[in-house]
Amino acid sequence: MTTSTDNSTSKVEWITAEDGHEIFSKTWHPVGAPLANIVFVHGLGEHIVRYNHVFEEFNKAGFQVSAFDQRGFGETGKKSKSLGCSGGYDKAIPDITAALKRAEAEGVPLFLMGHSYGGGLVLNYDCIGPLKHKLAGLIASAPMILASGPTRPSSLTVGFAGLVSKVLPSLQIPTNLSSKFISRDPKAVEKYDADPLVHGYGTTKGLYDMLSNGQALLTTRYKDITPDVPLLICHGTEDGLTDHQASKEFFDKIQVKDKEYKVYENHYHELHNEPEDDRKVVIDYYIEWIRKRLPAAKSST
Confidence band, pLDDT 50/70/90 cuts, at residue 162: confident
Confidence band, pLDDT 50/70/90 cuts, at residue 4: low
Positions of E strands within the chain: 2-4, 8-16, 22-30, 36-41, 63-68, 110-115, 137-141, 172-174, 201-203, 231-236, 259-264
C-beta separation of 200 from 175 below 8 A: yes
d(CA 274, CA 201): 24
pLDDT tens per residue, range 90-114:
999 999 999 999 999 999 999 999 9
User: Mean per-residue pLDDT for 28-42?
Assistant: 97
pLDDT tens per residue, range 176-230:
888 999 999 999 999 999 999 999 989 889 999 999 999 999 999 999 999 999 9
If you average pLDDT over each of 124-138, 195-209, 285-299, which comes out highest? 124-138
C-beta separation of 220 from 268 below 8 A: no
pLDDT recorded at residue 155: 66
284 is catalytic: no
pLDDT recorded at residue 272: 98
pLDDT recorded at residue 3: 61
Q: Is the pLDDT of residue 296 over 70?
A: yes
Strands 201-203 and 172-174: antiparallel
Of the listed 148, 269, 272, 278, which one is catalytic?
Answer: 269
pLDDT recorded at residue 214: 96
pLDDT recorded at residue 117: 97
C-beta separation of 218 from 250 below 8 A: yes
Measure Cα distances from 256 to 109, 209, 228, 232, 292 in Å.
19, 25, 6, 11, 17
The dotted CATH code for 2-300 is 3.40.50.1820
Give the count of beta carbons closer than 10 Å to the beta carbon of residue 156: 8
C-beta separation of 64 from 36 below 8 A: yes
269 is catalytic: yes
Question: What would the 3-class secondary structure string for 177-188 be?
Answer: CCHHHCCCCHHH
Whether the model clears a pTM of 0.75, i.e. scores above it, the answer is yes
pLDDT recorded at residue 297: 64
Confidence band, pLDDT 50/70/90 cuts, at residue 6: low
Of the listed 126, 239, 243, 278, which one is catalytic?
Answer: 239
Return the bridge partners of 259, or none.
Answer: 231
pLDDT tens per residue, range 54-95:
999 999 999 999 999 999 999 999 999 988 999 999 999 999
